[in-house]
Amino acid sequence: MPERTKKLLRMNYADLHRIYHQPFFDLLKHARAVHEEHWTGNEVQLCTLLSIKTGGCSEDCGYCAQSARYTTGVQAERLMAKEQVMERALAARASGSTRFCMGAAWKGVRVGTQKFDQVLDIVRDVSKLGMEVCVTLGELGSEEAKQLKEAGVTAYNHNVDTSPEHYPNIVSTHTFEDRLRTIRHAQDAGMSVCCGGILGLGETIEDRLKMLEVISNFNPHPESVPINALMPIKGTPLGDNEVVDSFAFIRMIAVTRIAIPRAKVRLSAGRTNLSREAQALAFFAGANSIFYGDKLLTAANPRANEDLRLIQQLGLTAQAPNPVLEAPEADEVRPLCPAFDAKGQPADESGCLAGCGG
Ligand code: SAM
Ligand code: DTB
Ligand code: SF4
């Protein structure tokens, strides 16, 4: 019988719980072994983020500096002109980034609107630069997803952010299920999905692992999983939350590496609160991508020259560009996941959190 190569690992909560609660060094060893089985070369991908439309967002995500509902000091701006975006993209490429991620503070985008046409125009030009092109624009329908893919987007970032149970405590203007629907549209259009979450939203370890259970059950798997540590923003409901403990952060990186072995695991927001040593352990545990450059969307990131020094000191190398990044393939013997029926309802009522009945 031919070997079935597309069987994807999927982990349930009990697996993840057992893995997470190993002694710290056993967990690191386990994650390292999985990492070495799937990745070579001690490589780290450098990704540049650019906020192409900042602030004034209609949504009420309790952690976000860009929600119009909170007074955070972030001013609402218009969509950046293509020429300005191109300047920043060229600078990112010149500084060694192989992925350019553009974020917009919108609830979502719609075909036929001027702003969506402008974004497509920007994507068409950025995609000629030989970097992976990632966008994060909020909710997408199937047509929007198709047009983004055609314009040259390689990956769509849409995080589930936390467990399905905790999500309504953090956001009321859209649902966890809405997030999954957008992810399905992005995958159906053939884009890779970048999907992860934030630690530090007042969730329990159980919530973190439930979030990972949902992501680990995606079929196909995400191409990358960004793990953000909350950067508490004054003026937001979570502005006084405590910074995430480094060991808990590294444990999540390790479990993510084990649960989704072929995904890039990206150290995302919150690296300014992690020591160089903690970041080194995170790389050891399987992180192989970072946001690189002095700014995230609105918040601070470590300085680019400090990151380069750390990478060099650890004997890591910056990953070469792969602009033709193929979307991860689906496991052919089980249904796609997340899954929705023709009416946009979760396709299964068996209780699977991601809607696929698994
Ligand atoms: N509006 C789009 C959306 O919600 O998907 C895209 C932009 S949104 C800022 C992208 C992600 O950034 C969020 O899903 C969240 O994971 C992360 N993020 C936003 N604010 C953050 C903060 N203060 N600390 C850590 N991560 C944050
Ligand atoms: C992701 O998971 N993290 C990035 C990216 N995807 C778009 C955004 C981090 C934002 C941090 C807060 C800020 O800069 O406002
Ligand atoms: Fe808007 Fe995204 Fe911020 Fe939520 S996370 S308020 S959707 S920009």
Note the pLDDT tens digit of each residue in 329-342: 888 778 888 988 87
Q: Is the pLDDT of residue 357 over 80?
A: no
* Ligand closest to the CA atom of residue 273: 1
**CA of residue 220 to ligand 1 center, whole Å:** 23
pLDDT tens readout for residues 260-317: 999 999 999 999 999 999 999 999 999 999 999 999 999 999 999 999 999 999 999 9
Query: What length is written for the chain?
Result: 358
pLDDT score of 4 more than 60 = no
In sequence order, what are the beta bridge partners of 46? Answer: 290
Per cent of the chain over pLDDT 70 is: 95
Q: Quick: pLDDT tens for 38-79.
A: 998 899 999 999 999 999 999 999 999 999 999 999 999 999
pLDDT at 321 over 90: no
Q: Dihedral angle at the C-alpha atoms of 12, 290, 128, 115, nearest 10 degrees?
A: 70
Query: How crowded is the C-beta side of 142, counted as CA atoms within 13 Å?
Result: 6
Give 98-163 as a DSSP string. SEEEEEE--SB--TTSHHHHHHHHHHHHHGGGSSEEEEE-SB--HHHHHHHHHHT--EEE---BS-
Extract long-range pairs of 66-71: CB within 8 Å, 24+ residues apart. 66/105, 66/297, 66/298, 67/105, 67/236, 70/233, 70/235, 70/236, 70/237, 71/235
Q: What is the pLDDT of residue 6?
A: 60
As annotated, the active-site residues are 57, 61, 64, 101, 134, 194, 266
Domains of the chain and CATH, by start: 22-318 (3.20.20.70)
Mutate to test the pocket of ligand 1, among 136, 224, 238 (most ligand atoms within 8 A of CB): 136
Which ligand ends up closest to the CA of 158? Answer: 1
40 Cα to the center of ligand 3, angstroms: 35
pLDDT of 244 > 80? The answer is yes
Which of 291, 292, 294 to mutate to test ligand 2, by most ligand atoms within 8 A of the CB atom?
A: 291
Ligand 3 atom closest to 106 (CA)? 1
Check residue 356 and give its pLDDT: 52
Cis peptide before 226 (omega within 30 of 0): no
Note the maximum CA span of the chain: 62
Q: Residue 2: pLDDT above 50?
A: no
Most ligand 3 atoms within 8 A of CB, residue of 51, 53, 57 to mutate? 57
Parallel, antiparallel, or unpaired: how do β-strands 192-194 and 155-157 relate? parallel
Structure confidence by residue, pLDDT tens digits, 80-116: 999 999 999 999 999 999 999 999 999 999 999 999 9
Task: Report the nearest atom of ligand 1 relative to the CA of 107.
Answer: 1
Whether the predicted pLDDT of 347 surpasses 90 = no
pLDDT value, residue 151: 97
Mean of pLDDT over the chain: 93
Ligand nearest to the CA of 230: 1
pTM of the model: 0.94
Report CA(286)–ligand 3 centroid distance (Å).
28
Report helix, strand or coil for 346: strand
Given this model, what pLDDT does residue 328 score?
Answer: 84
Q: How far apart are CA 292 and CA 266, in angstroms?
A: 11
Q: Model confidence at 348, in pLDDT bands (50, 70, 90)?
A: low
Question: In terms of Cα–Cα distance, which of 146, 159, 150 is closest to 186?
Answer: 146
Query: How are the residues of the chain apportioned to helix, strand and coil, as percentages rounded to the nearest 5?
Result: 35, 15, 50
On whether the CB atoms of residues 233 and 248 are closer than 8 A, the answer is no
